[in-house]
Amino acid sequence: MIHVALLGFGVVGSGTAEVLTQNQSIIEKKVGQAVNIKYILDLRDFPDSPFADRVVHDFQIIANDPEVSVVAEMLGGSHPAYEFTVACLKAGKSVVTSNKEVVANFGTELLALAREHGVSYLFEASVGGGIPIIRPLREDLASNNVTAISGILNGTTNYILTRMDTEGASFEDVLKDAQKLGYAEANPAADVEGLDAARKIVILAAMAFGKRIDPNTILCEGITGITAADSELAGEMGYAIKLIGYTTRVDGKILAMVSPRLVPLGNPIHGVNGVFNGILVTADMVGQVMFYGPGAGKLPTASAVAGDLIDVMGHTPAGIHSPVWVDATLDEIADPDTYVCRHLVVLDAHESDVGYLETVFGGLNAVHYTEGRFSFITEEMTEAAVKACIEAVDYPLVTRIRVL
Amino acid sequence: MIHVALLGFGVVGSGTAEVLTQNQSIIEKKVGQAVNIKYILDLRDFPDSPFADRVVHDFQIIANDPEVSVVAEMLGGSHPAYEFTVACLKAGKSVVTSNKEVVANFGTELLALAREHGVSYLFEASVGGGIPIIRPLREDLASNNVTAISGILNGTTNYILTRMDTEGASFEDVLKDAQKLGYAEANPAADVEGLDAARKIVILAAMAFGKRIDPNTILCEGITGITAADSELAGEMGYAIKLIGYTTRVDGKILAMVSPRLVPLGNPIHGVNGVFNGILVTADMVGQVMFYGPGAGKLPTASAVAGDLIDVMGHTPAGIHSPVWVDATLDEIADPDTYVCRHLVVLDAHESDVGYLETVFGGLNAVHYTEGRFSFITEEMTEAAVKACIEAVDYPLVTRIRVL
């Protein structure tokens, strides 16, 4: 029998207990032995839960119990999740987690610690909820050089953008509604300002390139500045505005960024709507593959945590390919100003300014003029160049959105 | 150093040699040691190939070389691929394959043989080309009960149907064009009659339910009967016609089938066009996840073969969860007549027959009448029931297409 401890009995923690119980027979068949949830660590008591008798409040009980060989960390937040993870790995217990904050901030160190102690640190649930993405990157696509990943990685913002797109509603109105419906938190900052997506793209970049970048240092723009007019304009031009986590290499250096992007109709993630996530991986041998599904939620996320648990419980530690990450040095990280793409630029300019704008930007596409909004899509140019052009023309900037 | 043999130097075989060579450094880093392609088995010589010196014509050289621990079988067709696979597994060599015919026909036996000899038999490339699907089903979704899989599993037919849809062209015309362009073979039967998709859905059903069904016995309808008029009608109703491999359980029994289906606009695989494949997995914990990408082609398929090779080369055999299949007994296989769905029915009837048809079918949706084609979508009903109704009304049947 294998004894498991769950850290955290919130949404994902209780979901994981549910998955392990409800699908016990198929799970034990795959693991090859009985699986017992021995402890559930939480500050609260759950007297009405069928798991009430497993709830403990003192982490040391778990850390000190040699019978517990596998721990699922679903506490959320960096602390004490990080410290508990370190303690478990040092005690020779494998850890699986849904905690993107810990993986993005401390993944390099925790993976090294796991290696050092002959155990595993797995985090399929930290990106894309229930969508298989970490293991496919690590195993299925292992023969590839990944060239880029673009992902809709946050369901809350995608829900908001989808409704803005279909209803022509304002960001503020849809956000309020999303909060009422439970799709957005009371404090939505981590979602709408892009930090949640930033953590996830940092994890994907590290899976693709083996180098972790500090998620707090990457270019990160949220969706609070997107207006109903932007959304309508994008639609007319054949695009949808999505919050995209994006990573690629620029001259060998790693770029990771989060920003709203115009996604063209032909892109497989164009149609990823509502709370769903979609992750498009471009790699040298396979071309493009896309992974789509529920990027959050109790049972979908628990499905991924339980998948990692089965992997750990069914294998010897040597049987698992843990990725090796190193922290990227400053000279391995691309300056976002060097990144090249096309840009939607909307200026407070007049139709008659087209000639001048063309001279400065060197080519305008999909030119559009409505009531003081002069909009166009540039040729491919660097961030630095487009910013210099905007400054040069001296018309008030209404908005600039990168094209994917 | 690990010594690998490739069986077959056709499209996938030469692609696999290319992947292993071009991405040698990242592959060897993941495997943890040098990888050498020691032999390539083919009937032909390839004097101009950089691999010319590895080509052998006698399989026994490979079978009898104890240095070769891993073999990639990419011969296509059942024989001698099956016999060679048996010989390799018995000789203690792990085998990875892209050969869906062998996996669908002999997978149960070959997986058992691999287990018996302490080696692995992996076949990620056998379904969906470069798309990760077999390993995600086996590992990422391991905590789920899969309830259904619906997949666009054949790029040739999807290319034909997409062009019929967008251009209003006939099946025959597009097929000819596809043959010219190399998207369809000179003898397109295995593709257009559905057998290729049947083999793949049998493999997916076995991954989902642990039971293999003989691919030659499942309900299998191709796309040769689909007309431009059907395609246009479907489009007007908000559907796209796709050749769908489908598997689910009906009253605990396993159903696997291939047929054209009307895929509604909201379904994630509705937008899977051209030569691409898309596989939608529905499972109790995760809900729905979709895998999308190139379902065939030299390097995409080789990417999957090489991913399996890395898995085998980087692990001890005990480190790999090989699935356990058994052959489904007759009473474990659902009678297709018991399968329930909605059906598009097109009859050679008159507009004024609507009342009578309504009486017989018990509810008509999306009724449509044009020049002797009376079309409607039924309520959910069994195959047996819809067939009985069509027979009862005695109007000539123009077409019947199941709704997904």
Residues A100-126 pLDDT 10s: 999 999 999 999 999 999 999 999 999
Please give the average per-residue pLDDT across A271-281, as a whole number. Answer: 96
What is the tens place of the pLDDT at every residue in A129-168? 999 999 999 999 999 999 999 999 999 999 999 999 999 9
pLDDT at position A337 over 90: yes
**Chain B CB contacts of A290 below 8 Å:** 290-293
Angstroms from B177 CA to nearest CA on chain A: 23
Q: What's the pLDDT at A366?
A: 95
ipTM value of the model?
0.96
Q: Which residue of B has its CA nearest to A277?
A: B289
Band the pLDDT of B315: cuts 50, 70, 90. Answer: confident
**Phi, psi for residue A60 in degrees, rounded to 5:** -60, -30
Interface test with B, best of A22, A96, A143 (most B CBs within 10 A): A143
Percent of chain A with pLDDT over 70: 99
**Chain A CB contacts of B315 below 8 Å:** 318-319, 321
Angstroms from A58 CA to nearest CA on chain B: 28
Place of tokens 């939607």: A344
Q: Which residue of B has its CA nearest to A209?
A: B26
Please give the average per-residue pLDDT across A314-336, as a whole number. Answer: 87
pLDDT at position A355 over 80: yes
Place of tokens 């509810």: B363
Q: What's the pLDDT at B182?
A: 87
Angstroms from A281 CA to nearest CA on chain B: 10
Band the pLDDT of B322: cuts 50, 70, 90. Answer: confident
Say if the Cβ atoms of A321 and B314 lie within 8 Å.
yes
Say if the Cβ atoms of A316 and B319 lie within 8 Å.
yes
Residues forming CATH 3.30.360.10 domain(s) in chain A: 134-294
pLDDT at position B320 over 90: no
Q: What's the pLDDT at B319?
A: 65
Angstroms from A234 CA to nearest CA on chain B: 20
Say if the Cβ atoms of A139 and B311 lie within 8 Å.
yes
Q: Which residue of B has its CA nearest to A265?
A: B271
Q: What's the pLDDT at A182?
A: 87
pLDDT at position B100 over 90: yes
pLDDT at position B136 over 70: yes
pLDDT at position B108 over 70: yes
Please give the average per-residue pLDDT across B86-103, as a whole number. Answer: 97
Instruction: State the Cα–Cα distance between residues B137 and B208, nearest whole angstrom.
Output: 7
Instruction: State the Cα–Cα distance between residues B257 and B247, nearest whole angstrom.
Output: 6
Q: Which residue of A has its CA nearest to B208?
A: A26
Band the pLDDT of B46: cuts 50, 70, 90. Answer: very high
Q: Which residue of A has its CA nearest to B142?
A: A307
Query: A250-255 — which CB contacts under 8 Å span 24+ positions?
Result: A250/A334, A250/A338, A250/A339, A250/A340, A251/A334, A251/A338, A253/A331, A253/A332, A253/A333, A253/A334, A253/A335, A254/A205, A254/A209, A254/A211, A254/A213, A254/A328, A254/A332, A254/A333, A254/A334, A255/A333, A255/A334, A255/A336, A255/A338, A255/A339
pLDDT at position A98 over 70: yes
The region, left, alpha or beta by phi > 0 then psi within -120 to 50, assigned to residue A296 is beta
Give the one of A285, A304, A316 whose C-beta lies nearest to B302's C-beta. A285
Which one, of B318, B298, B320, lies nearest residue B308 by Cα?
B320
Under CATH, which number does the domain B339-403 receive?
Answer: 3.30.70.100
Say if the Cβ atoms of B135 and A130 lie within 8 Å.
no
Relative to beta strand B239-250, strand B146-152 is antiparallel
pLDDT at position B321 over 80: no
Q: What's the pLDDT at A123?
A: 98
Residues forming CATH 3.40.50.720 domain(s) in chain A: 2-129+298-327
Give the one of A136, A285, A319 whose C-beta lies nearest to B315's C-beta. A319
Question: What one-letter code names the amino acid at A85?
Answer: T
What is the tens place of the pLDDT at every residue in B213-269? 999 999 999 999 999 999 999 999 999 999 999 999 999 999 999 999 999 998 999
Q: What's the pLDDT at A318?
A: 64
Give the one of B20, B30, B304 whose C-beta lies nearest to A140's C-beta. B304
Q: What's the pLDDT at B98?
A: 97
Query: Would you say domain B134-294 falls under CATH 3.30.565.60?
Result: no
Angstroms from B108 CA to nearest CA on chain A: 17
Residues forming CATH 3.30.70.100 domain(s) in chain A: 339-403
Instruction: State the Cα–Cα distance between residues A138 and A154, nearest whole angstrom.
Output: 22
Q: What's the pLDDT at B144?
A: 98
Which residue spans within B34-99 are E strands per DSSP?
35-41, 55-56, 68-73, 94-97
| Catalytic pick among B38, B93, B100, B200 | B200
Instruction: State the Cα–Cα distance between residues A70 and B225, nearest whole angstrom.
Output: 55
Q: What's the pLDDT at B317?
A: 64
Angle, helices A155-167/A228-236, rounded to nearest 10 degrees: 70
Cβ–Cβ pairs < 8 A, chains A and B: 188
**Chain A CB contacts of B304 below 8 Å:** 140, 286
Return the CATH number of A2-129+298-327, one of 3.40.30.10, 1.10.468.10, 3.40.366.10, 3.40.50.720.
Answer: 3.40.50.720
DSSP summary character for residue A333 = B
Say if the Cβ atoms of A318 and B316 lie within 8 Å.
yes
Which residue spans within A208-342 are E strands per DSSP?
211-212, 219-220, 239-250, 253-264, 276-283, 287-294, 326-327, 340-341
Task: Provide the whole-model pTM.
Answer: 0.97
Tell me the Cα Rg of chain B: 23
Band the pLDDT of B314: cuts 50, 70, 90. Answer: confident
Q: A304 Cβ partners below 8 Å, 6+ apart?
A: A98, A124, A125, A129, A130, A131, A132, B140, B286
The residues of A annotated with a catalytic role in the active site are: 200
Instruction: State the Cα–Cα distance between residues A59 and B61, nearest whole angstrom.
Output: 59
Please give the average per-residue pLDDT across B19-40, as a whole number. Answer: 96
Instruction: State the Cα–Cα distance between residues A390 and A246, nearest whole angstrom.
Output: 23
Band the pLDDT of B318: cuts 50, 70, 90. Answer: low
Give the one of A132, A135, A294 whose C-beta lies nearest to B287's C-beta. A294
Say if the Cβ atoms of A135 and B135 lie within 8 Å.
yes
pLDDT at position A191 over 80: yes
The rounded Cα B262 to chain-centroid distance in angstroms is 18
